[in-house]
């Protein structure tokens, strides 16, 4: 299969030196890319700014902003059989990007934000027979919030991720997730390495494809 994976955060600049971002380390998405590669798939990894080494043998497209990630995903989606959106795409960005560094003395009292277009939602008409998997990082109402995203983004599965835990989720090597498929029972997995979560996810995609 050709598998397109996104990983890491995006950065939304306020001025040339300051940005809004989030705690995503990219570890989960990189683990998915590695697992897919190890299981014999062709992988394109669209990566936000992270400090991880990409595995040999895959194409890496490096992006910074959500808009760049959207362009890279749109360029790759037609050629993929499965898309795994593990990236923590910014939900908002500054409405205005200043061309020069803002002076401390003239700092704006407020920062106007605008919503970032949803990459997955924008792909609905191009989904066809492709398998789309999303991730939902939540701190409360995990399963309800994840299910709402599964439906609104027209996904085949969402991986629900409780990021309020300190032993799993953001930045660490382990994850405790629930696989929620569009059809079928939710599967709560015990705490395990992100590599093991990734292998299970790739196997789920393979089984779904058959
Ligand atoms: O940010 P949110 O919780 O809605 O993210 C859920 C899923 O949607 C993730 O898989 C994420 O990569 C994707 N997403 C997206 N475009 C955005 C925000 C999130 O495709 N602008």
**In this predicted model, what pLDDT tens digit does every residue of 158-189 receive, in sequence order?**
999 988 888 877 878 898 999 999 999 999 99
CA of 92 to the centre of ligand 1 (A): 11
Q: Residue 89 is part of a domain; what is its CATH number?
A: 3.40.50.10300
Ligand 1 binding pocket mutation candidate from 10, 77, 89 (most atoms within 8 A of CB)? 89
CA angle 23, 9, 3 (to 5 degrees): 130
- Report, as an integer, the average pLDDT of 87-113: 93
150: left (phi over 0), alpha (psi -120 to 50) or beta: alpha
Distance CA 65, CA 21 (A): 9
Nearest-CA residue for atom 6 of ligand 1 = 136
Question: Domain of 16?
Answer: 2-209
**In this predicted model, what pLDDT tens digit does every residue of 57-96 receive, in sequence order?**
999 999 999 999 999 999 999 999 999 999 999 999 999 9
Domain tally for the chain?
A: 1
Quick one: which atom of ligand 1 is closest to the CA of 153? Answer: 8
8 A C-beta contact, residue 37 and residue 57: yes
8 A C-beta contact, residue 162 and residue 192: no
Nearest-CA residue for atom 10 of ligand 1 = 134
Alpha-carbon separation of residue 99 from 20, 93, 109, 132 (angstroms)? 16, 15, 18, 37
Name the token pair of 192: 């395990």
- Report, as an integer, the average pLDDT of 138-166: 92
Classify residue 4 by its DSSP letter. Answer: E
Name the token pair of 183: 């059809």
8 A C-beta contact, residue 130 and residue 82: yes
Alpha-carbon separation of residue 96 from 13, 105, 108, 202 (angstroms)? 9, 19, 12, 39
Name the token pair of 193: 């390495």
Distance CA 204, CA 191 (A): 18
Quick one: which atom of ligand 1 is closest to the CA of 121? Answer: 20
Distance CA 151, CA 198 (A): 22
Classify residue 102 by its DSSP letter. Answer: P
* pTM assigned to the model: 0.96
Mean pLDDT of all residues belonging to the chain: 95
Is ligand 1 within 6 A of the CB of residue 180? no
């Amino acid at each position: 299969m050709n598998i397109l994976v996104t990983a890491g955060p995006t950065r939304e600049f306020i001025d040339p030196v300051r940005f809004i971002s989030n705690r995503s380390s990219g570890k989960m998405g990189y683990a998915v890319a590695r697992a897919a590669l190890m299981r014999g798939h062709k992988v394109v990894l669209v990566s936000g700014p992270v400090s991880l080494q990409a595995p040999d043998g895959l194409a890496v497209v490096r992006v910074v902003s959500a808009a760049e990630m959207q362009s890279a995903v749109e360029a790759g989606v037609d050629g993929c059989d499965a898309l795994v959106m593990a990236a923590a795409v910014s939900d908002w960005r500054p409405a205005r990007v200043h061309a020069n560094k803002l002076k401390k003395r003239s700092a704006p009292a407020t920062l106007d934000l605008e919503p970032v277009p949803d990459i997955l939602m924008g792909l609905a008409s191009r989904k066809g027979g492709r398998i789309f998997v999303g991730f939902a990082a939540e701190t409360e109402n995990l399963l309800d919030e994840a299910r709402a995203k599964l439906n609104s983004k027209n996904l085949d599965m969402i991986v629900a991720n409780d990021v309020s835990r300190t032993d799993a989720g953001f930045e660490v090597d382990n994850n405790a997730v629930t696989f929620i498929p569009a059809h079928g029972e939710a599967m709560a997995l015990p705490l395990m390495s992100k590599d093991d979560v990734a292998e299970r996810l790739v196997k789920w995609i393979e089984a779904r494809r058959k």
